Amino acid sequence: FDFFMFTTTWAGTFCDHEFGRHCKHVMGLRNLTIHGLWPNYDSGKYPQFCDKRKFDPDKVSDLQDRLNAEWPDLLSKGGLWSHEFEKHGTCSASVLPTEHDYFGAALSLNERLDLTSALFRAGIQPSSTQAYPTKDIVKAVKSVIGDDVDPELNCADGNLQEIRVCFTKTFQARNCDS
């Protein structure tokens, strides 16, 4: 793979548009949460399910509290961490060889970026009634990733669903398109 795509999501939009009735609405959740850390190719494609390793929660037991807070499993049937590791984490092994490395890297990026705080500082908060110009969201994200890097915004029915920021294999911010 050529780079990582770090994806965060607004839980409300994610649940309303992506998974609907299969989603747990976490009351009071106002922060962006981690959706995933995905290896990608410059071609726009991405590897998936690269080996047969299965998610083992014991290997990340020391990260459990942070995972619950920053990467909550929004799916009512559970299994988000398992899905993310087996689909994407197994393909990250050349850079992040263990399950612990994979989840630890995502948590570190989340802490380093703190996109929720960047948005709040810009006056942008989750709302079903207030719309925000895309340029304001991009400006807030660029305040933490740098002006020379463009984030990707994924919206659903005019609502912000995800913010994606791409990184080199050494975790320097970069544009997602090569």
* Active site residue ranges: 35, 84, 88
Neighbours of 16 (CB within 10 A): 17
Stated as kind and residue range, the H or E segment containing 152 is: strand 152-156
DSSP annotation string for 37-98: EEEE-TTS------S-----GGGGGGGHHHHHHHS---BTT--HHHHHHHHTGGGGTTTS-S
Q: Are 105 and 113 in contact (CB under 8 A)?
A: no
Q: Which two tokens stand for residue 98?
A: 């263990």
b/e map 79-92, b = 16+ CB within 10 Å: ebbeebbbbbbbbb
